[in-house]
Amino acid sequence: MTKKQKKMVGRILAAAVLTVALHFVPAEGLWRFLLYLIPYGIIGYDILRNAWKGIRNHQVFDENFLMAVATLGALALGLLKTGDYTETVAVMLFYQVGELFQSYAVGKSRRNISELMDIRPDYANLETDGKTEQTDPDEVPVGSIIVVKPGEKIPIDGVVEEGNASLNTSALTGESLPRDVGPGAEVSSGCVNMNGVLRIRTTREFGESTASRVLDLVENATSRKSRSENFISRFARVYTPAVVFGALALAVLPPAVRGLFLGQDPAWSDWIYRALTFLVISCPCALVISIPLSFFAGIGGAGAAGVLIKGSNYLEALSRTGTVVFDKTGTLTQGSFEVTAIHAREMSGEKMLEYAALAEGASSHPIAGSILRAYGRDPDMSRVTEIREIGGHGIRARVDGKEVAAGNGRLMETVGVAWKDCHHPGTIVHLAAEGSYAGHIVISDTVKPEAKAAMEALKKAGVRRTVMLTGDRQAVADTVAEELGIGEVRAELLPGDKVDQVEKLLAEKKPGEQVAFVGDGINDAPVLARADIGIAMGALGSDAAIEAADVVLMDDNPLKIAKAIRIARKCMRIVYENIVFAIGIKVICLILGALGIANMWLAIFADVGVMILAVLNAVRALFVKNL
């Protein structure tokens, strides 16, 4: 409990004890009124102060103003007519109990998120001249050596220079399976060293490291408001002044009509009391507190599960996902290509692999990496000139002065070489030298073990349509899609074609549905940006993924996609439950108050009770472990 909360508990207890004690004080009239002002002032002075600040800042209509007017009016009624002030002090007392409970619940949810996302390091062990000293991570320059001991968090992204250890990545990925690292391995800040001592050379400043970026995403997520939150904000701006003027009309019009037109007793005090009760009932606390809290808890719970959602607007859109579009390589497959066959024609297989390795030597594409691994040694790039990488086609270069082309069938057609298809499953890299077809290399990728279960989980989560987009051959794409149970396949696409395909899917979607695109976040930035929801996978430490996507999965497990959708849908169910519950109870109690059936005790339940129940319901969005 915070100091502020402890202070509030003290005020509540003091006001409650004084109110009970005043029952036994034989004071009447003005003296009784003055005595009751003491517990009223103890428990309500901050409400009165905030109401006055709102008036001075021209922001009159909020819950502080409503409570201040209602309770001061009730005190005035007690002084002029009833002589009873207990109910007034009790209303303010219970309102503050509700505020205390709300403060505790919100603080608890924030602490839970902070504990689950406890990745901000407190210090870094900076090595200088063979000695280490603790320093602020902000002060560690790029290229420095830091030492991370067992049990410590890695404070800054870097590369292991020395040592072996197992890292707990659960704070970032939501998974408990440790990751083993050794010299040359890239490590991300926020992971916990479970054993061993690591010497790490930093590759980023602290502010640009993974831990800082993840925390910034979570902390700034509430700045992107959902439609539901914007609706509640607009509703409160219209609703609060409306009920104030409604209460004023309730206090003036009925007694005026009774006295002037019907010749009856106006009963001014009864109608004023009804109007004051009406004001207490009308406080929109439950809505304005519980709805943002629901989104905050949902985003925090998702973050703890390794799913970063950049704003409540994206959380709301994710809950309405009807179509999920997948990039194949690195998303549904491992992305680790291996050469599985070499079919040579006019030169030996060894020579063909050598030419392909030299041509692909400067490329960062995964296929180039697999060819270089199969080649088994560093290519002599001094033998290579005039390298041209053609997007969606392959590589053209001069190797030992010969014109060499390595790529797909489209590249062979571009250079005017007749090529042969291959019945082997996998990606085919054709090779031509000096205008003659030399043969082809078969490179295969493997499907992720969780991918099939991920497709089944999406269907159970209510996703209507799954689509796979790939630049790979149609035969390979069909094989993968059939194995995983994906409904539609679009293959042999150039990078720009994927955007066009997503445009078509957006045009075909049902009203109210959203189209999500899932990619690796590095080569798919345009498609991630164009889809209703961009989801980046395998994004631990990936700047491109964090920047381009709306939702970031901090590991490469496709099962997390269905989990993210279920989290979003649970959060939206809670939001709608709170909206219907809070507005429904308010309307009923407002009608009862206007008819004189509800007194201030019912009014305080309608305000504080509904708020407490709504806040408790909102906090449920934090618990997503078993979804």
One-letter amino acid identity for 323? T
| Options 327, 520, 532, 555, the catalytic residue | 327
DSSP string, 426-440: SEEEEEEETTEEEEE
- Of residues 268 and 624, more confidence is placed in 268
The answer to whether 535 and 314 have CB atoms below 8 angstroms apart is no
Q: Is residue 253 part of a domain?
A: yes
CB atoms within 10 A of CB 163: 16
The rounded percent of the chain whose pLDDT value lies above 90 is: 16
Q: What is the average pLDDT score of the chain? A: 82
Rounded Cα gap, residues 549 and 464, in angstroms = 22
What is the number of structural domains in the chain?
Answer: 4
Residues 458 and 404 grouped into a single domain: no
Residues 395 and 527 grouped into a single domain: no
The CATH number for 130's domain is: 2.70.150.10
pTM above 0.85, yes or no: no
What φ, ψ does residue 185 adopt, rounded to 5°? -80, 140
Q: Which residues contact 56 (CB under 8 A, 6 or more apart)?
A: none
Q: Is residue 585 part of a domain?
A: yes
Q: Where are the alpha helices (DSSP H) in 78-195?
A: 86-116, 170-173
* HEC readout, 1-65: CCHHHHHHHHHHHHHHHHHHHHCCCCCCHHHHHHHHHHHHHHHHHHHHHHHHHHHHCCCCCCHHH
Per DSSP, 472 falls in state S
Q: Is residue 65 part of a domain?
A: yes
Residues 30 and 108 grouped into a single domain: yes
| Predicted local confidence at residue 521, as pLDDT | 57
Burial of 443 (0-12, 13-18, 19+ CB in 10 A): buried
Over residues 282-294, the mean pLDDT reads 74
CB atoms within 10 A of CB 414: 15
Residues 410 and 456 grouped into a single domain: no
Residues 21 and 84 grouped into a single domain: yes
CB atoms within 10 A of CB 10: 11
| Predicted local confidence at residue 117, as pLDDT | 54
CA dihedral 469, 470, 474, 477 (to 10 degrees): -80
Over residues 406-420, the mean pLDDT reads 89
Q: Is residue 212 part of a domain?
A: no
| Predicted local confidence at residue 473, as pLDDT | 75
Q: Is residue 20 part of a domain?
A: yes
> Residue 429 above 70 pLDDT?
yes
- Of residues 5 and 398, more confidence is placed in 398
Q: Where are the alpha helices (DSSP H) in 447-558?
A: 451-460, 474-484, 495-508, 525-530, 543-548
Residues 322 and 343 grouped into a single domain: no
Q: In the structure, what pLDDT confidence band is assigned to residue 90 with cuts at 50, 70 and 90?
A: confident
Rounded Cα gap, residues 163 and 509, in angstroms = 52
Sheet architecture: strand order including 158-162: 131-135, 124-128, 145-148, 198-202, 158-162, 186-187
> Residue 164 above 70 pLDDT?
yes
Q: Which residues contact 580 (CB under 8 A, 6 or more apart)?
A: none
Q: Is residue 399 part of a domain?
A: yes
Q: In the structure, what pLDDT confidence band is assigned to residue 291 with cuts at 50, 70 and 90?
A: confident
Residues 130 and 199 grouped into a single domain: yes
| Predicted local confidence at residue 224, as pLDDT | 61
Note down the domain range covering 31. 3-114+223-295+571-622
Report which of 478, 517, 457 is spatially closest to residue 323, judged by C-alpha positions: 517
Per DSSP, 590 falls in state H
The CATH number for 462's domain is: 3.40.50.1000
| Predicted local confidence at residue 223, as pLDDT | 59
Q: Is residue 563 part of a domain?
A: no
| Predicted local confidence at residue 459, as pLDDT | 93
Q: Is residue 301 part of a domain?
A: no
Residue 403's beta-bridge partner residues?
A: 398
520-537 burial, b for 16+ CB within 10 Å, e for fewer? bbbbbbbbbebbbbbbbb
- Is 327 an active-site residue? yes
For the chain, how big is the Rg over CA atoms in Å? 33
How does pLDDT run across 237-258, given as a tens digit for each residue?
Answer: 777 788 778 888 888 888 888 7
The CATH number for 344's domain is: 3.40.1110.10
Alpha carbon 63 to chain centroid, angstroms: 30
Rounded Cα gap, residues 367 and 524, in angstroms = 17
Rounded Cα gap, residues 80 and 18, in angstroms = 22
> Residue 327 above 60 pLDDT?
yes
| Predicted local confidence at residue 406, as pLDDT | 92
Residues 440 and 451 grouped into a single domain: no
One-letter amino acid identity for 225? K
